[in-house]
Structure 1
Amino acid sequence: MNFRSSMLVALAGLAALGGSQALLSQTGPAPAATPASAPPAAQTAAVDALRPTPKLAPGQPIPAGELEALVDGIVRQSMSDNHIAGVTVSIVQNDKPVLLKGYGISNINPMRPVDPRKTLFRIGSVSKTMTWILIMREVEKGTIKLTDPVNKYLPPESQIPDQGFKNPIRIVDLMAHAPGMEDSALGHLILDKPERLTPPADYLRLHRPNRVREAGTLSTYSNYGVAVAGQILARLNKVDFETLADRDVFAPAGMSRSTFREPMKPRAGFAAPMPAALAGDVSDGFRWGGNRFKSMGPDFVGSVASAGSITTTAEDMARYMRLLLRDGSIDGTTVYGPVAAKAFRTPIMKVPAGVNGWAHGFGMSTQPGGFTGYGHGGGTSAFLTQMTVIPELDLGVFISTNTVGGNVLSSKLPGAIIERFYAQTPPIQRPGNPALLKSAGNYEGTYVATRRSYSGLEKFLGVLGGTAKVSASPDGYLVTSGALGSQSWAPGDSPTQFRAMDGEGYLNFVLDGNGKAIRIYTPSGANAFERASGLFDLGLFGWVGGLAALIAFGLWTAYLARRGTTYQGSALRLSHYGLLGAGLSWIVAVIAIATWLPSIMANGPSLHYWPPTPLVVASTAALIATLATIASVLLLGVGLRKAPRPGNFALLRHVAVALLFLALSVMVGIRGGLLPWA
């Protein structure tokens, strides 16, 4: 589901409170920029050196030996560099497996190697593609229409209220990740104990996100939307979702070691648990502990099984990719028909070039050489997975890793294979255009990701981690930082399009009637970035927060040393005490964040429990500081009316501190950080 990677991004943003502007990229590691000081010829040569001459044309199969040598080299190097415990890989071409291989370990006690035929890995959101197959089977049977409102198929208690929006959420909107809802995950989507799971039918009611835009207008990844689809399928077929998937996907596809079920005790409201024959072969998840791998506890996703609970083997995923590349048939058995097959190659959303338009639930990606890939990525706490099929090459690539940080490998392998054998990519060194500086103001500014919660402390993390900045360089490039990654972009063929200086990526803007950018589309289609007020700028927030903490410390140092100003008049004196209280509260907030942040940056957030105590303490302290600041400002106004001191430096300093604390309160408040109970 990519939960961990997206929330790592969110938590990294907390560093901004101390003045740091370094953020992890929300769309994965950005390509390393060629030094701007290098001569153009040298820059071109550097890029060209990374692009081997392709050997094959579409239709020519990859030699098995060369493919294995390439994959071995990439996988083993990444396992060493990035401390990945285990990897499982399957690659198919021309309706047969051409590589099926396991690397490293799946378990420590006892120690077991990864077996691509036997070892089961969690594949997270790749599961969603099978949910969409089941939806399209209903479409082909005539029991569902894609344009129908989802509420038509839900019981009254699970129906989604309109909340003031005109358009109902339709089945097709779920497949395009465009239900128009906020994203909420922490503390309820992935859990560490099965007894903490909420039965799927109740989950829809108890954890319903708010609607924040009209349905069908913008893709913003929604696990909740896929959970809705799973419950619709269960109700229509009068069986639990897991049984339906066994019957209509896994069994006919011959995927005997794949299941949506999880290893748990039988429990009312849930499907039967994973069979013991499979549960004993599930890989552990790992984290690198500095000198050894540490096993992590299991994840449970049964509340939203249709969104990401599959456990499977590389061999079964080879069969699945063969099914996809043969338009729903495998070994003489048909799982879905031509209507579904066409849908899974047809984008729903009208989006700019290079942006995933969601081919009825399958993600679309531009691969090296301009080939179009269809598939999905996925992740839980430790497992990171990528599945991509390229029909033009009759090629499918599946890779899954069982260690935190494994996305460094899983996200790049399909493209690396295509580039090595098929890409006809010319040397790239796109030039900037100094004329861009005349219109740079139309693009420059702060942008905030749409995939986030829109209220409370989850919003606080989502906004901080999902904030990006766009600026222009003197040599005519747009430069992104923060959640969009650190990269330079050259002007493209239109005012709305920019291309990566030394890569294949696109940056697409939506402009208003005055030519000013209001939104940025990212290639993944899972997120967009919308222009935000300058108050959301991470650098400004860091400076204001750092300065406020420093001044708060100075106020208390002076007070404790009895060097503070003595004000005449009770209102001014009380206002001064209000600032002292606010300052102490801001110090507590910063200390609470500082004690929590190192662990989060090193290990990632806990997806299982929310909210963490240090964040609640920090938010409570920030709320107290805000109330104390407001009281201080009001008392200051009263005091100035009674005894104005326009030439008094101490009084001017008092006003400046009050305004600084008030500014910080506003910045924390608009990010959702003043709601410790939410």
Structure 2
Amino acid sequence: MVITEFLETHMMIDKLKIGSKQLGLVFLAFLMGNDGSYASIPPNVANSDVVEAFVDGVVKASMKNAKSSAGVVAVMKDGEMIFSKGYGFLDVEKRIPVDPNTTLFRPGSISKLFTWVAVMQQVEQGNVDLDVDVNGYLKSLKVANTWPGQPVTLRHIMTHTAGFEDGFLGYLIIDDPSRIMPLEQSLAKYQPQRINPPGVHTAYSNWATALAGLVVEEVSGMSFNDYVQRHIFDTLGMTHSSFLEPLPPQLASNVAKAYGYSQGRYVELNYEIISNFGPAGAAAVSARDMSIFAQALLNGGAVDGKRILKSSTLQQMVDGGFTHDPRVRGMGLGFLKRRYGRDDLDVFGHDGGTTIFSSHLGLSSKENFMLFSSFGGPGAKEVHSTFVKSFYDEFFPSEASKVDPPADFFERGKRYEGTYHSWRSSFTKIESLLRLITSLKVVLLPDNTLMIGGKRYVEIDTNLFQEADDNGRIAFQEDVNGKITGLVIDGFGVMQFYRAPFYETGRFIMLSLGSVLLVFMHVLLQAVYRRREFNTLVAFERKAVVASTLLAATHFSFLTFAAVGASGGLIALMYDVPLTLKIALIFPILAALLTLYHIYCTFQVLRHGELEGPRALAKLIVVNLAGLYMVWFYSYWNLLGFNYFS
């Protein structure tokens, strides 16, 4: 947001009076061009007045537009709190405003940083080794030996390279406290498949992070929640932080409530429960407490003499890790390395999202800087994405270097085209279908650039591309034969993509599935139109018509029940698998049996010479092929059977 826009918003909402703050902002505006570009230097992030004016301008407007009920922003520089402010209400009905010091937000996966600190504390004490089989520390369950001789280690887990598939349907986040179970029981019940050998592909894993928390439990002899409370929260004086769910009574009244928005008003929702995977995302933390934790991370592991890690250990967590290509940011040991602001800012930290809250914790050792933000409500994600990027762009702007595409790129550009899916996906459960709507499409453009995710990229090195109008980078990977196999995005080290085969592309699925459904629609229409002729058919010809009609009806029944089951939205699907979706999964089984029966009837019709002519035979063959395709479709996307965690 340019300076004039947020000044206007700030003045309109708060009815500001001209004073020293405003004079400073006027001077700042003078330093900027008419188009909002900087004529000299970016605004000073250590100036609390400037920071407040900017944050107010962005946050208040975006929260109002997106119906976000509560938010908080904290900015720290050189160990000093520059800005800390709450927005909206922790309780909308009672009009209790957000207090950045005491209001708890749900930071989602930022919780993982506490887990990684706990793991590294055990490393410092000599209780665990990052590079040995994690099963050696587990008593109550074992990781499946899917890849003999290639065990999963804590280093794999901390860099999200353990090779597990991902999932969420009906179990990752719940809203019923009666479904909470001990961590070891939950991890045993919901253990995902190891789809890749460890150390090869990055695929973000909540389950693996929770497993690291279980290791802390096993070697420390304490529950994970008690361990973090004693060795991190209490040590640092974080008085408004907890992993307990539901929250303890002394904190429960201070948490920002979860809200939806319907018919012009906020509707309170149940408290999100992540206890069954607690180390991956169950924390509730105030902005003040998060700032204390961040100060320890930036200050060599200690605040005011209270130490949680050695300085050398923290440096190992930042510098160590995994990358697919050294030319783009990869993973630290637990820390995400993000591309925000100028290149040398080197932001590390974590983002987090639940079904209700979206949060960001960004740290820069070079600037001795922290930004923490969290927003709740139905528009939280929108506010989060708008605010975080705009903040870094405003106070740490990068100077985009314009690059011209090589004149000969078009000749080799075709090798990059295709659909790319994230390895963070389910491969054995019904949510595997989500790959079709979360893919990246790479298209070669006539101007010698690649269109990736709606942005143009220019080749700057072998298999390395930069945004045409910004500094974002993407690195492609190739196999020993020079075939492009995947890509990674700078700043998203846990988001490696693989090049999808044609049968996993949306275009193939839509064309083939659409064609097959047209066949079955024709079958149903024919059954209605020619119903008077049915009694004239003989033996297996009649049975074939019945089988065709039932087969068509079965497929459409599946689609109908599946659509109703998914209509409740993401939150409902995370909390539980709806009954209608369970019913839907009966129909693929019936369809597979009916397809076999229809093939049998076709052979019997041929055997007894009951066909009216080639046209009738062609219809039977087409239906058989359509039925076989649907069996493949159901099977490949794990819809043939009840492939979900109950």
- TM-score bin (small chain): 0.7 to 0.9
The residue aligned with 1:240 is 223
1:584 equivalent in structure 2: 553
Q: Distance in 2 between matches of 1:338 and 1:247?
A: 20
2:69–2:92 Cα contact (<8 Å) kept: no
Q: Does 1:328 align with 2:312?
A: no
Is the contact made by 1:51 and 1:420 (CA closer than 8 Å) also made in structure 2?
no
Per the TM alignment, residue 638 of structure 1 is displaced from its structure 2 partner at its CA by: 4.5
Q: State the partner residue of 2:18.
A: none
Say whether residues 1:359 and 2:332 are aligned partners: yes
Give 2:375's match in structure 1, choosing from 386, 390, 401. Answer: 401
Q: Which has the greater radius of gyration?
A: 2
1:669 equivalent in structure 2: 635
- Structure 2 residue 446 is the aligned partner of structure 1 residue 474: yes
TM-score for the superposition, normalised by structure 1: 0.84
Aligned to 2:364: 390
- Aligned residue type for 1:347: G
Q: Quote the residue 1:340 is aligned against.
A: 313
Closer/same/farther in 2, CA of residues 356 and 189 from structure 1, 3 Å limit: farther
Matches within 5 A, 1:60-209: 62-155=46-139, 157-209=140-192
Q: Deviations over 1:287-342 (max 9, x none)?
A: 22252222111111222221111111111111122111112111222221122221
Name the residue aligned to 1:269: none
Q: Is the 8 A contact 2:187 2:276 kept in 1?
A: no
The within-5 A match list for 1:395-544 is 395-426=369-400, 428=402, 430-432=403-405, 435-460=408-433, 462-480=434-452, 485-494=453-462, 496-522=463-489, 523-544=491-512
**Residue of 196, 205, 211 corresponding to 1:213:** 196
* Aligned CA distance change for structure 1 residues 140 and 297 (closer, same or farther; 3 Å): same
Letter in 2 for 1:352: D
Deviation, 1:49, is 5.0
Do the aligned partners of 1:385 and 1:401 also contact (CA within 8 Å) in 2? yes
Q: Deviations over 1:646-678 (max 9, x none)?
A: 962233233223323322332232111222354
Is residue 587 of structure 2 the alignment partner of residue 621 of structure 1?
A: yes
How far apart are the structure 2 equivalents of 1:569 and 1:558?
A: 17
- Give the secondary-structure state (helix, strand or coil) at the position aligned to 1:392: coil
CA distance in 2, matches of 1:212, 1:323: 37
- Where 1:543 maps in the other structure, the secondary structure is helix
User: Which deviates more, 242-251 or 625-634?
Assistant: 625-634
Partner of 2:274: 301
Q: Is the 8 A contact 1:181 1:210 kept in 2?
A: yes
- After superposition, the Cα gap between the structure-2 partners of 1:146 and 1:456, relative to the gap in structure 1 and judged at 3 Å, is closer
Q: Deviations over 1:37-61 (max 9, x none)?
A: xxxxxxxxxxx9575456259xx75
Please give the per-residue CA displacement for 1:218-274, whole angstroms capped at 9, x wherever unaligned: 2211111111111111222211111211211112212111111122xxxxxxxxxx4
Match of 1:7 in 2: none
SS of residue in 2 equivalent to 1:594: helix
Q: Which residue of 2 aligns with 1:4?
A: none
For 2:465, what is the secondary structure of its paired residue? strand
Q: How far did 1:200 drift?
A: 1.0
Q: 1:641 to 1:517 in 2, by over 3 A?
A: farther
Deviations 1:340-395 (A, max 9, x none): 22112213113225644221101001222112111111122201111000111111
TM-score calculated relative to the size of structure 2: 0.88
Gap change, CA 1:434 and 1:320, over 3 Å in 2: same
Name the aligned partner's letter for residue 395 of structure 2. F
Given that residues 351 and 361 in structure 2 are in contact (C-alpha distance below 8 angstroms), is that contact kept between their aligned partners in structure 1?
yes
Change (3 A) 1:236 1:524: same
Question: Compared with structure 1, are the counterparts of its residues 197 and 162 closer, same or farther at alpha carbon in structure 2 (3 Å cutoff)?
Answer: same
Rounded Cα–Cα distance in structure 1 between residues aligned with 2:448 and 2:600 = 48
Aligned partners of 2:438 and 2:541: how far apart in 1?
A: 41
Secondary structure (helix, strand or coil) at the match of 2:321 reads coil
Aligned to 1:31: none
Aligned position for 2:528: 560
Number of corresponding residues? 609
Alignment-derived partner of residue 11 in structure 1: none
Question: Per the alignment, in what secondary structure is the counterpart of residue 51 of structure 2?
Answer: helix
**Matches of 2:239 and 2:544 in 1, distance apart?**
71
SS at match of 1:476: coil
- Going from structure 1 to structure 2, the CA distance change for 1:405 and 1:539 (only over 3 Å counts) comes to farther
Would you say the 8 A contact 1:385–1:411 is kept in 2?
no
Alignment match, 1:226: 209
Question: What letter matches 1:529 in structure 2?
Answer: F
Amino acid at match of 1:323: A
Gapped regions of structure 2 (runs ≥ 5): 1-33
User: RCO greater where, 1 or 2, for CA within 8 Å and sep 6 or more?
Assistant: 1
CA separation of 1:527/1:627 partners in 2, compared to 1, >3 Å: closer, same or farther?
farther
* Percent of aligned pairs with the same amino acid: 24
Alignment correspondent of 2:614: 648
Match for 1:91: what amino acid? Answer: V
Structure 2 residue matching 1:607: 3-state secondary structure: helix
Per-residue deviation at 1:598? Answer: 4.4
2:331 and 2:494 in contact (8 A); partners too: no
Range with greater deviation from structure 2 (123-132 or 286-295): 286-295
Checking the alignment, whether the CA contact within 8 Å between 1:544 and 1:664 is kept in structure 2 is no
Change (3 A) 1:518 1:297: same
